[in-house]
Structure formats: C-alpha cells, structure tokens
C-alpha cells in the first residue's frame, strides 16, 4: 500500500512506469515479441555487468566472485505448504464467485439479477469502446493516482459520496416498491 500512496516516489515511479510500459507494449505488439524483447534487454544488462566486473577483476588481479552471487543463492522455489495455501485461497474465491453467479443467473433475488443485467449491458458498450488492455492501462493509472487524490481531498470526496449513496438508496427503494416480486433480504 505504501507504493500506491507514493511514500517512496522512486520505487513507485519505477514500478508504475514499468507496468505502464509493459501494458502499452502489449497493446502494440504480441506477447511473444514483448517477452522476447524484455528478456533480451535483461540479458544485455546482466551480461554487460558480468563482463565489466570480470574485466575489472582481471585488471586489478582481485577475485571478488560472481557479481550476482547473492541473487543466485536466493531461494525462488515455492514450498508445498505455500502452494497449498495459494490453491486453497484460489479455491475459496472461485467457490464464492460461482455461488454468487449461480444466485444472479438463476434469479434468486430479482432486483440483484436486474442490477447484474444492467451492469452487463453497460459493459457491452464499454467493451465496444475499449479493449481489455486499454481498460487495464486505465486501471493501473487509476490505481496509482486515486489513493493520493483521495488522501488529499478525503473530506470533500466523502461528503459527495454520502450524497450519492443517499440518492441511490432512495431510487432503489422506489424501484423495489414498484417491481413485483422484489423482496428485501429480510423477508
């Protein structure tokens, strides 16, 4: 969360810039091409560093070892316990999503299903205007800007959101009273 709030601008800038560069590259070129170019860029840097350090060691007659020794000794494999934990979390989220989708598609609550249908209808228009990568780029930009803006203008935003929430609740109450078969969750 510290990265999203720009507590360390250098780390946040590098992360946001590289993610946006990757997404823009993916919107222009194939995944295979972007992967190959990123791998070539990383290899050119690491090979250059290794050759430079080897040359320095040869000229100074020192043996400082491999320049990436600490990274080579770093453990990158996942333990069976970690894998099991990740699979359990994935299974939990998948089951929750499936139960909710079943509830919406089989019209357990008419109003919720109508809201879902309206959302899907709006998404058809959104999908006609933007492709998935464009939406992902917008999401990343929003992710790195919205927390800072909210932190700075929290009182004004909370006031406006409170007014919107009140109006939406009033409209939903009117709709529920007019739609036959729409029951509140308590009934």
pLDDT per residue over 39-92, tens digit each?
Answer: 999 999 999 999 999 888 888 888 778 888 888 888 888 899 999 999 999 999
What pLDDT does residue 177 have? 84
pLDDT per residue over 97-148, tens digit each?
Answer: 999 999 999 999 998 999 999 999 998 988 888 888 888 999 999 999 999 9
The pairs formed by 158-161 with CB atoms below 8 angstroms and a separation of 24 or more are: none
Is residue 176 within 8 A of residue 184, CB to CB? The reply is: yes
The Cα–Cα gap between 181 and 125 comes to: 29
Is residue 23 within 8 A of residue 133, CB to CB? The reply is: yes
What pLDDT does residue 186 have? 55
What secondary structure letter does DSSP report for 8?
Answer: S
Residue whose token pair is 């929290």? 154
- Structure confidence at residue 183 as a pLDDT band (50, 70, 90): low
* Mean pLDDT of all residues in 158-167: 95
Examine the pLDDT at 187 and tell me if it is beyond 70.
Answer: no
Structure tokens at 163: 């007014």
What pLDDT does residue 1 have? 80
The Cα–Cα gap between 93 and 111 comes to: 24
The Cα–Cα gap between 7 and 141 comes to: 17
- Structure confidence at residue 185 as a pLDDT band (50, 70, 90): low
pLDDT per residue over 10-48, tens digit each?
Answer: 999 999 999 999 999 988 889 899 999 999 999 999 999
How many CB atoms sit inside 10 A of residue 93's CB? Answer: 10
Q: How confident is the prediction for the chain on average, in pLDDT?
A: 89
CA-based max dimension of the chain: 87
The Cα–Cα gap between 172 and 168 comes to: 6
User: Which SS3 state, helix, strand or coil, does residue 97 take?
Assistant: helix
């Amino acid at each position: 969360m510290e990265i999203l709030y720009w507590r360390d601008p250098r780390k946040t800038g590098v992360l946001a810039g590289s993610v946006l560069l990757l997404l823009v590259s993916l919107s222009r070129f194939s995944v295979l091409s972007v992967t190959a170019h990123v791998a070539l860029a990383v290899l050119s840097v690491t090979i250059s560093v290794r050759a430079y350090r080897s040359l320095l060691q040869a000229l100074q007659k020192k043996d400082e070892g491999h320049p990436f020794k600490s990274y080579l000794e770093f453990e990158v494999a996942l333990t069976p316990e970690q894998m099991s934990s990740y699979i359990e979390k994935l299974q939990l989220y998948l089951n929750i999503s499936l139960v909710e989708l079943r509830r919406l598609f089989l019209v357990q609550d008419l109003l919720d299903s109508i809201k879902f249908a309206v959302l899907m209808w709006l998404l058809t228009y959104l999908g006609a205007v933007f492709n998935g990568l464009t939406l992902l780029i917008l999401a990343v930009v929003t992710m790195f800007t919205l927390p800072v803006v909210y932190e700075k203008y929290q009182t004004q935003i909370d006031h406006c959101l409170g007014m919107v929430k009140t109006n939406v609740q009033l409209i939903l109450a009117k709709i529920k009273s007019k739609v036959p078969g729409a029951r509140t969750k308590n009934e």
